[in-house]
Amino acid sequence: MCGRYSLTDPVEALNRLFGLGAPAVALPRFNIAPSQMAPVVRRNKDKRREVALLQWGLVPSWAKDPAIGNGMINARAETAAEKPAFRDAVRSRRCLVPSDGFYEWRTGPGGKQPYRICIDDGAPFAMAGLWEQWTAPQGKTLETFAILTTAASEQIAHIHHRMPVIVTPDEYDGWLDATHRLQPEAFAARPTAGLRAYPVSTHVNRPANDDASCLVPIDRPADRQPPRQGELF
């Protein structure tokens, strides 16, 4: 799965990856968590790329309660096209989620140890996403997204068995264009080169901790204490 990620220089990342400016609110984010707002890149009505701030946790258009999004932060590449919650988005509402690292937790003798996973040179990258628009009975709209996941590459499989789908620049247009033949299952179980992982402090466990301390390597995984209220584990 992907339950947390970072985007520490949104302006640089969006320009480097897509040649686009940042949205109105583009603060550095060190610990983006579900239910929070984050930038995605999608195609507008003119078929051009645009940046939009969406809420993480996909709420299908047919949902009765937007709280369903709490359990829809990820969509499996192998089955997204078949699942009622995601199949409409697969057909017509795809996006790219800029990031410069994501977090996974490895279970060990001392509990769950967080790791940050990034590209070797620290460069930003794009994760495959799906987005939806939900309309409340009162007429207010909510736009949300989910991150596509696949089997973990061999470099990080010892930490967690799933990881976000990383989309290469030559695949951007093929993914954003829902009429293109590039389907979610094409990303399943493919190797992803150039990843590195390092242990970080359990400071990242709390969504409220959104600061540079989340990125700092620790010398070795520390034994975990029982989780406090509000922590991921």
Task: Answer yes or no: are the C-beta atoms of 90 and 178 closer than 8 Å.
Answer: yes
CA distance 70 to 93: 19
Token output for 44: 């507008």
Residues designated as active site: 2, 104
Task: Answer yes or no: are the C-beta atoms of 116 and 25 closer than 8 Å.
Answer: no
Identity of residue 127: M
Cα separations in angstroms, 170 against 173, 174, 175, 176: 7, 8, 10, 11
Cα Rg for the chain, rounded, in angstroms? 17
Cα separations in angstroms, 44 against 8, 10, 122, 135, 176: 25, 20, 29, 19, 10
Residue for token pair 């460069």: 123
